């Protein structure tokens, strides 16, 4: 062993700079793993430390309708301090900002909520002033958007409030969630004067409890779970919230770690490729060692030690950089987290990153190193003998080890064996396609090279297929980087284009809801007067489910063998009635019945196919609803497919005409505004005339979603950049190893009279071709992956925008050529003799 270590150290002397460069390939992969792992540990500790603040209470009980007297009595009987909150959507008007309007989530708070954690406002103390009754705290982002400041007025319903401050943090809420619908906090007691309650708004009720120290909330909830179900109350405890957040964190960490892991695998391939070249240069040394009596194991071990040291060095550097990157992560995810995060280095994460780096790096390095065992000592006297040919079973063992390590890591990160296998399969397919494309390119370059091309072109293209070419490695690294980044861009485009299509043409882009029965006709008149007439409308009747196929909802909720999502049983259904299908619906089974004459019989209804699947409903099945106190028997007569993306009144359950007309109802109206100005003007007019009516602006929805996608994409892109940067390092490594391999040939060309410009052009042609091909192959893979995601995951139409691919080709080619030129420039500048002396 002593000899092996000593020899490994001595033998590396002349190549240490090169070896350090090789090790850089895995640095960024380990960096990504360590940064994500350690930051996740920070988050996990924050969740553990601030778990009570995550909920703001020991127990939260929620209901989608005002608690029944029975439920209220049950809650009143709980032995703890109680606070409450009601939440609903409404429009607000900002008189100081030209009476602009905005749909917000109003949270009417009563009691001492939050019991744990602090509400942060700007200026401080704003939340404490809510009790005064005439003040509100408004989402900070909204304040900025409308140029508001503390002291400005805000009109909610019929009451004008004073803004006490901007809301920065509320225990348990993430600012990202609030982006979808900004929050306005107000004292619950002040809501009565707004006139908004009891007018058809979908209100969510919450009660918060703080129990005496030592009270076992989990046990209590477990004991009373049945009772909560019977009363249709949802419960959330600190532990449940902690678990949910922990699971979400685990999922995100798993996903991001896998993105980082791709960088590590790519880097490891880069290291293996560089070692392959290195080992080929060491064959004579190995043969001499064998002549002098070194065993196959000893000579192999000399280089294995170098390979492992390389991996360890890269992993250590990666861990160090990872800790530094971890410092930057909180600012990246700022606003996405519902709690504060304290920085510390997780040594466990550092250790895991190191192990992953050394293991993956080591396994990939083994592949080229195995050849050392088979170097014949005869090479020392006869160079024709390189190594023994024939299959090497150990090589297959290493392949199996690599696949097992990658799969094991993926399973460990995702905690799902299917996802782990899926990741490995996707990686294998991507690598396989890229490698096959590279081989195809090399073959085509040899087979179809036009003889009339200028010499530098022929030479440059020929470099793609000649011995010791780097085509496979470079196409792998370039293609993989392009693939990852382009897939992200395309996925975002797919999701947004889905919504954008609804923006096109004459389709509605404004949706007014919570319109009372008596407001319906006047509103239509107002809209017509504003030049944006109603395009579609529907009455809405709220109802609850009583029974399904003869079994009561209470029974179903108690029965653990029934796998129907609870929300479908507990929710308040907002159904409509109409005589015919709307243009966003198609019947997929049965017959749509538009009118009944006899309201006493079983009513034929139409159910949305997705909901029917969840509720295990088929044609002819019996469903019973409680329509505001009146039980109503119905039968599934048809199933419908609904295009939910279209901004139109869409419903889960549609009743025929002739049944619900007399029930208390409200309306939803869709209209089309020509532009943002008209949209804002119409909204202002509507809210001014009907303060309880809310408006949903499609342009705002798109903008909001775009903002969220951007934030998420930025985080994922940040992680993907590690892969791209690794690709660049691998590229530099490949160019440099290529340089060591080709130096004699270049020098020979120089000796034979090739000019510096010619040599440079040969290199540029080679790298330009590689860059274009890498971007194209990676791009095609990204389009295929995006199409698969669109079809199977997002159920969206496949998009094929040309611009991202064109951009990728330009950027990747430019990057490749620039890297190739920078890394290879020294070689063509120096006189042949000097180069020969240096490189020999």
Residue ranges binding another protein (CB under 8 A): 2-3, 6-7, 10-15, 284-285, 287-298, 376-378, 380-382, 840
Q: Is the dihedral of CA 242, 245, 251, 252 positive or negative?
A: negative
603-625 burial: b if 16+ Cβ within 10 Å, else e: bbbbbbbebbeebebeeebebbb
CB of 301 or CB of 527, closer to another protein: 301
CB of 132 or CB of 295, closer to another protein: 295
Q: Is 545:539 a contact under the CB 8 Å cutoff?
A: no
Taking the complex as a whole, how short is the minimal distance between the CB of residue 379 and another protein, in angstroms? 9
Taking the complex as a whole, how short is the minimal distance between the CB of residue 306 and another protein, in angstroms? 11
CB of 282 or CB of 507, closer to another protein: 282
| Cα distance from N-terminal residue to C-terminal residue, the chain | 29
Nearest to 61 by CA among 70, 72, 53: 72
| CA 304 to chain centroid | 39
CB of 1 or CB of 802, closer to another protein: 1
Nearest to 124 by CA among 179, 173, 167: 167
Strands 534-548 and 551-552 turn out to be antiparallel
CB of 285 or CB of 648, closer to another protein: 285
**H-helix segments, 117-216:** 140-146, 175-180
Taking the complex as a whole, how short is the minimal distance between the CB of residue 10 and another protein, in angstroms? 5
CB of 277 or CB of 557, closer to another protein: 277
Taking the complex as a whole, how short is the minimal distance between the CB of residue 291 and another protein, in angstroms? 5
Report the run of H or E that residue 363 belongs to, with start and end. helix 347-373
CA atoms of 40 and 326, how far apart (whole Å): 10
Taking the complex as a whole, how short is the minimal distance between the CB of residue 827 and another protein, in angstroms? 19
Taking the complex as a whole, how short is the minimal distance between the CB of residue 350 and another protein, in angstroms? 33
Taking the complex as a whole, how short is the minimal distance between the CB of residue 751 and another protein, in angstroms? 21
Please name every residue paired with 638 in a beta bridge, in sequence order, or none if there are none.
Answer: 590, 606
CB of 22 or CB of 116, closer to another protein: 22
CB of 334 or CB of 388, closer to another protein: 388
Tokens of 285: 């040394």
Strands 653-655 and 572-577 turn out to be parallel
How many Cβ atoms are within 10 Å of 29's Cβ, its own excluded? 32
Instruction: Tell me which residue has tokens 């640095």.
Output: 27
Interhelix angle 393-414/238-281, nearest 10 degrees: 160
Taking the complex as a whole, how short is the minimal distance between the CB of residue 288 and another protein, in angstroms? 5
CB of 243 or CB of 837, closer to another protein: 837
CB of 12 or CB of 509, closer to another protein: 12
Taking the complex as a whole, how short is the minimal distance between the CB of residue 277 and another protein, in angstroms? 16
Tokens of 360: 């993956």
SS (H, E, C) 602-651: CEEEEEEHHHHHHCCCCCCCEEEEEECCEEEEEEEEEEEEECCCCCCCCC
Taking the complex as a whole, how short is the minimal distance between the CB of residue 398 and another protein, in angstroms? 21
Helices vs. strands in the chain: H and E counts, helices first: 24, 21
My answer on whether omega of the bond before 706 falls inside 30° of 0, hence cis, is: no
CB of 13 or CB of 452, closer to another protein: 13
Q: Is the dihedral of CA 13, 17, 22, 23 positive or negative?
A: positive
Taking the complex as a whole, how short is the minimal distance between the CB of residue 348 and another protein, in angstroms? 39
CA atoms of 480 and 472, how far apart (whole Å): 12
DSSP state for residue 57 in the 8-state scheme: S
CB of 3 or CB of 343, closer to another protein: 3
Report the run of H or E that residue 87 belongs to, with start and end. strand 81-94
Q: Is the dihedral of CA 778, 782, 785, 788 positive or negative?
A: negative
Q: Is 85:206 a contact under the CB 8 Å cutoff?
A: yes
Q: Is 672:509 a contact under the CB 8 Å cutoff?
A: yes
Nearest to 640 by CA among 556, 698, 576, 563: 576
Taking the complex as a whole, how short is the minimal distance between the CB of residue 829 and another protein, in angstroms? 22
Q: Is 39:729 a contact under the CB 8 Å cutoff?
A: no
Taking the complex as a whole, how short is the minimal distance between the CB of residue 289 and another protein, in angstroms? 7
C-alpha pair distances (Å), 300 with each of 4, 8, 368, 572, 589: 9, 10, 11, 71, 69
C-alpha pair distances (Å), 805 with each of 625, 716, 775: 53, 19, 8
Taking the complex as a whole, how short is the minimal distance between the CB of residue 748 and another protein, in angstroms? 20
Taking the complex as a whole, how short is the minimal distance between the CB of residue 5 and another protein, in angstroms? 11
Nearest to 581 by CA among 528, 522, 506, 657: 657
CB of 9 or CB of 794, closer to another protein: 9
Taking the complex as a whole, how short is the minimal distance between the CB of residue 447 and another protein, in angstroms? 24
DSSP state for residue 657 in the 8-state scheme: B
CB of 14 or CB of 803, closer to another protein: 14
CB of 321 or CB of 378, closer to another protein: 378
CB of 283 or CB of 781, closer to another protein: 283
SS (H, E, C) 815-835: HHHHHHHHHHHHHHHCCHHHH
């Amino acid at each position: 062993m002593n000899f092996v270590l000593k020899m490994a150290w001595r033998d590396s002397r002349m190549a240490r700079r090169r070896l350090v460069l090789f090790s850089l390939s895995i640095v960024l992969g380990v960096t990504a793993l360590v940064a994500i792992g350690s930051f996740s540990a920070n988050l996990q500790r924050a969740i553990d430390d601030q778990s009570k603040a995550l909920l703001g209470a020991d127990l939260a009980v929620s209901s989608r309708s005002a608690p029944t007297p029975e439920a209220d009595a049950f809650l009143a009987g709980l032995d703890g301090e109680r606070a409450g909150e009601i939440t609903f959507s409404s429009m607000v008007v900002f008189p100081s900002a030209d009476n602009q309007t905005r749909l917000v989530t109003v949270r009417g708070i009563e009691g001492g909520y939050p019991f744990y954690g602090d509400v942060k406002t700007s200026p401080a103390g704003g939340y404490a002033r809510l009790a005064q009754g005439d003040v509100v705290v408004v989402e900070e982002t909204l304040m900025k958007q409308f140029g508001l400041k503390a002291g400005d007025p805000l009109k909610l319903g019929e009451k004008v409030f004073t803004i006490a401050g901007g809301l920065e943090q509320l225990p348990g809420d993430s600012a990202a969630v609030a982006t979808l619908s900004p929050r306005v906090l107000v004292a619950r007691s002040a809501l009565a004067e707004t006139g908004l309650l009891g007018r058809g708004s979908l209100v969510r009720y919450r009660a918060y409890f703080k129990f005496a120290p030592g009270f076992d909330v989990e046990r209590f909830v477990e004991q009373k779970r049945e009772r909560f179900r019977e009363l249709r109350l949802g419960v959330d405890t600190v532990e449940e919230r902690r678990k949910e957040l922990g699971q979400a964190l685990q999922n995100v960490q798993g996903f991001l770690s896998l993105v980082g892991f791709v960088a590590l695998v790519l880097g490891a391939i880069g290291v293996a490729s560089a070692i392959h070249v290195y080992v080929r240069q060491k064959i004579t040394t190995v043969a001499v060692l064998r002549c002098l009596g070194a065993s196959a194991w000893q000579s192999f071990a000399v280089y294995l030690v170098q390979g492992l040291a390389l991996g360890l060095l890269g992993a250590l550097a990666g861990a160090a950089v990872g800790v530094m990157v971890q410092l930057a992560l909180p600012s990246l995810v700022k606003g996405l987290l519902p709690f504060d995060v304290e920085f510390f280095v997780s040594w466990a994460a550092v250790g895991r990153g190191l192990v992953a780096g050394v293991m993956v790096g080591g396994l990939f390095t083994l592949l080229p190193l195995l050849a050392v065992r088979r170097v014949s000592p005869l090479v020392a006297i006869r160079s024709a003998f390189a190594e023994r040919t024939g299959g090497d079973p150990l090589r297959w063992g290493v392949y199996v080890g690599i696949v097992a390590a990658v799969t094991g890591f993926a399973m460990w990160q995702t905690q799902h064996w299917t996802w782990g296998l899926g990741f490995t399969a996707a990686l294998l397919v991507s690598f396989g396609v890229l490698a096959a494309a590279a081989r195809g390119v090399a073959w085509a370059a040899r087979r179809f090279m036009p003889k009339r091309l200028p010499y530098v072109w022929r030479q440059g293209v020929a470099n793609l297929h000649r011995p010791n070419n780097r085509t496979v490695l470079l196409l792998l690294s370039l293609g993989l980087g392009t693939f990852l980044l382009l897939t992200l861009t395309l996925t975002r485009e797919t999701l947004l284009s889905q919504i954008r299509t609804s923006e096109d043409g004459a389709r509605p882009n404004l949706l007014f809801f919570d319109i009372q029965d008596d407001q319906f006709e006047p509103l239509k008149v107002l809209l017509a007067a504003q030049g944006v007439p109603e395009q579609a409308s529907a009455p809405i009747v709220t109802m609850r489910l009583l029974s399904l196929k003869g079994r009561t909802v209470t029974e179903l909720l108690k029965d653990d063998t029934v796998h129907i999502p609870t929300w479908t049983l507990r929710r308040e259904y907002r159904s409509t009635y109409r005589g015919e299908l709307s243009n966003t619906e198609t019947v997929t089974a049965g017959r749509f019945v538009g009118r009944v004459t006899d309201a006493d019989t079983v009513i034929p209804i139409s159910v949305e196919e997705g909901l029917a699947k969840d509720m295990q409903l088929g044609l002819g099945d019996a469903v019973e609803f409680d329509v505001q106190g009146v039980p109503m028997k119905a039968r599934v007569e048809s199933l419908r497919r609904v295009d939910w993306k279209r901004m139109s009144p869409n419903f889960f359950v549609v009743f025929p005409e002739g049944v619900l007309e007399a029930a208390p109802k409200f309306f939803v109206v869709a209209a089309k505004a020509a532009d943002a100005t008209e949209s804002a003007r119409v909204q202002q007019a509507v809210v001014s005339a009907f303060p309880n009516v809310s408006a949903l602006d499609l342009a705002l929805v798109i903008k909001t979603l775009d903002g969220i996608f951007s934030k998420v994409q930025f985080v994922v892109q940040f992680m993907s950049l590690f892969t791209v940067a690794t690709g660049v390092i691998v590229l530099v490594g490949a160019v440099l190893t290529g340089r060591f391999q080709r130096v004699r040939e270049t020098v020979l060309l120089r000796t034979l009279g090739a000019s510096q410009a010619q040599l440079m052009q040969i290199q540029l042609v080679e790298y330009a071709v590689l860059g274009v091909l890498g971007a194209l192959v990676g791009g095609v893979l990204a389009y295929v992956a995006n199409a698969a995601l669109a079809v199977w995951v997002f159920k969206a139409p496949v998009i094929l925008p040309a611009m991202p691919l064109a951009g990728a080709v330009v950027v990747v080619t430019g990057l490749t050529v620039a890297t190739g030129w920078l890394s290879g420039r020294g070689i063509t500048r120096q006189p042949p003799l000097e180069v020969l002396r240096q490189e020999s």
